Amino acid sequence: MDSFEINKIVACVLVVALVFIGLANFGEILYHVEKPKVAAYQVEGAEEMVIDASMAVAEESVPAEPAVSIQTLLASADIEKGAKVFKKCSQCHVLDKGGANKIGPALWNIVNKDIGAKEDYKYSNAMAAYGGQWTYEQLNGYLLNPKKYIEGTKMSFVGLKKEKDRANVILYLRSFSDAPAPIE
């Protein structure tokens, strides 16, 4: 290879580099963008999100308590709607009398039954130690947010936030019993 060919190769590389640099500069001239004083992206509504997040953290320290009495909600509850909402629960629970446990225990005759006391199901330590009975109020609070209501429960369900949904499901659960518990 003689020096003339080397010169042509070097010239081609330099021309390509100059064209690339020239196009970049031409793009900046053509599309001028004013640089902000602070190198950050401003998200609209971010302040409200921060305030909402801090309120949510503050609310986490408060136990999950339903706002309206469950008896008031049960008076206008609908079993048919409860059956539809319960489909979310049927992945893990069975309602049949003598039904086999799934991921969660069978829920036949659950209203006024002892909490965490089904003999053929292995409850979390938190659930087994909780004590008491599944009253309408207990079910309402638990279904609102299981993890907050009984801290340490292994139930991974996020809960039913709508009061009507909880009342409908509780009324539906109540119907699966030989002698449904009275609504007081």
pLDDT in tens, 53-103: 555 544 444 445 556 788 888 888 999 999 999 998 999 999 998 889 999
**DSSP secondary structure, 50-100, as one string:** HHHHHHHHHHHTS----SS-HHHHHHT--HHHHHHHHTTGGGT---STTPP
Residues 6+ apart with CB under 8 A from 63: 148, 149
Residue 81 tokens read as 């709607």
pLDDT at position 154, please?
87
DSSP helix/strand/coil, 115: coil
Burial of 133 (0-12, 13-18, 19+ CB in 10 A): middle
Beta-bridged to residue 133, according to DSSP, are: 114
pLDDT at position 63, please?
46
pLDDT at position 61, please?
43
Residues 24-31, mean pLDDT to the nearest whole number? 80
In this model, does residue 16 exceed pLDDT 50?
yes
pLDDT at position 71, please?
85
pLDDT at position 78, please?
93
Amino acid at 69: S
**Among candidate residues 149, 142, 139, the one with its CA nearest the CA of residue 174:** 139
Going along the chain from its start, the domains and CATH numbers come out as 65-174 (1.10.760.10)
Question: How many Å apart are CA 84 and CA 78, to the nearest integer?
Answer: 10
Q: pLDDT tens across 92-140, in order?
A: 999 998 889 999 999 999 999 999 888 889 999 999 899 899 999 999 9
DSSP helix/strand/coil, 110: coil
Is the CB of residue 82 less than 8 Å from the CB of residue 163?
A: no
